[in-house]
Amino acid sequence: MNRLTTKLQSLQKEKRKALSIFLTAGFPMMEKTIPLVKAIEKGGADILELGIPFSDPLADGPTIQFSSHVALENGITLSKIFSIVKEIRTFSEKPIVLMGYMNSLLAFGSEKFFASCFECGVDGIIIPDLPIEEAEEIILQAKEKNIATIFLASPTTTNERLKLLDEHSTGFLYCVSITGVTGARKNISSQTEKFLKRAKKIVKKNPLLVGFGISTKKDAQQIKGLCDGIIVGSALINLIRESKAREMEKNVCNFVRELRTGLDE
């Protein structure tokens, strides 16, 4: 058990839905990551996801492509992200999940990566370009350090694969709401509902958290009955982009609080 599993289990006992918020590390400025994390926490998020910027993020839409690009220009690196996590751990015990592409892990050294996760207080890892078939070594290395390996399932995932993903995921299963890349969208589609109903029937072990395209309180309300929690990223990045530097933290806190209300009321 780590912070992530403990948190999700206690939420489940309280019959509450999890709110996971994604922020690209180092965006929009290096020195903003910590204040934004504090704002996200204050707004009532349960899980913090920090994005590891990659030059070629092929599972991401324009919003996260942009934030990744800006963060790289700001000089973010994986080592700096681990320092950020260490600093967060001086004031917060929220579960922290890193989301990044396979090449970032390989270049850092995957064994060293999980050792650093353990040392700095990371609880889980999401790698959008690592399908389960290629993940054997990563799963074993993560397990050794008690880091959750969160796999993604999508509407095109067969029932048989859903079982396999459930078997090997720890923490939660990340349900991709649509066939598509990350990015805020206008509506929750009927495809999403169908997929979540199917997943709920098959997935036994893991909580289901839904991400990709979830952007508003209305989305949260509409979807909460079909899952154990939601993940919001692009909508938050867009909000940060639109905010004046002075108002950024306040806007982020209010936005997260609104999502929280959507899930709780």
Partner 1 sequence: MNKKLVTLNSKGHFGKFGGRFVPETLIAALDELEIAYNKAKNDSSFQKEFRLHLKDFAGRPTPLYFAERLSAKFRNTKIYLKREDLCHTGAHKINNTIGQILLAKKLNKKRIIAETGAGQHGVATATVAAKMGFDCVVYMGTKDMARQEMNVKRMQLLGAEVRGVTSGTQTLKDATNEAIRDWVANVRDTFYVLGSVVGPHPYPMMVRDFQKIIGEETREQILEKENRLPDILVACVGGGSNSIGLFFPFLNDDVKMFGVEAAGLGINTTQHAATLTKGKPGVLHGSFSYLLQDDDGQILPAHSISAGLDYPGVGPEHSFLKESGRVKYVSVTDDEALNALFELTKLEGIFPALESSHALAYLKKMKLNSKNEKIVVVNLSGRGEKDLPTILRG
* Nearest CA-CA partner of 233 in 71, 110, 99, 133: 99
Stretch that binds partner 1, among 23-31, 38-46, 58-66, 224-232 (CB under 8 A): 58-66
User: Taking the complex as a whole, how short is the minimal distance between the CB of residue 134 and partner 1, in angstroms?
Assistant: 5
Q: Is 117 left (phi over 0), alpha (psi -120 to 50) or beta?
A: alpha
Cβ(50)–Cβ(25) below 8 Å: yes
Contact pick of 73, 167, 242, 264 for partner 1 (by CB under 8 A): 167
Q: Which of 39, 120, 122, 152 binds partner 1 (CB under 8 A)?
A: 152
Backbone angles phi, psi at 175, to 5 degrees: -90, 120
Judged by CB under 8 A, the chain residues 114 through 143 that form the site for partner 1 are: 128-137, 139-140
When asked if residue 264 is in the footprint of partner 1 (CB under 8 A), the reply is no
Residue 56 among the catalytic residues: no
Q: Assess contact for 173 and 209: CB atoms under 8 A.
A: yes
Number of residues that bind partner 1 (CB under 8 A): 49
Instruction: Respond yes or no: is residue 247 known to be catalytic.
Output: no
Which position among 12, 42, 44, 77 is part of the footprint of partner 1 (CB under 8 A)?
A: 77
Contacts of residue 230, Cβ cutoff 8 Å, sequence gap at least 6: 17, 18, 19, 20, 209, 210, 211, 214, 219, 220, 223, 224, 259, 263
Q: Does 29 contact partner 1 by CB under 8 A? A: no
Q: Which of 41, 46, 60, 123 is catalytic?
A: 60
Instruction: Rule CB under 8 A: choose which of 104, 116, 192, 234 binds partner 1.
Output: 104
**245 Cβ contact list (under 8 Å, min separation 6):** none
Distance CA 120, CA 85 (A): 6
Whose Cβ is closer to partner 1: residue 76's or residue 122's? 76
- Minimum Å distance from CB 200 to partner 1? 17
The only residue of 11, 126, 176, 231 in contact with partner 1, by rule CB under 8 A: 176
Specify the 3-state DSSP secondary structure of 80.
helix
CA angle 145, 146, 151 (to 5 degrees): 110
59 binds partner 1 (CB under 8 A): yes
Q: Is residue 5 part of the contact set for partner 1 (CB under 8 A)?
A: no
Closest CA relative to residue 186, chosen from 210, 219, 209, 222: 219
CA distance 228 to 214: 14
Check 46, 49, 228, 249 and give the catalytic one: 49
Judged by the rule CB under 8 A, the positions of this chain that interact with partner 1 are: 54-59, 61, 65, 69, 72, 77-78, 101-108, 128-137, 139-140, 151-158, 161, 164, 167-168, 176, 178-181
Catalytic residues: 49, 60
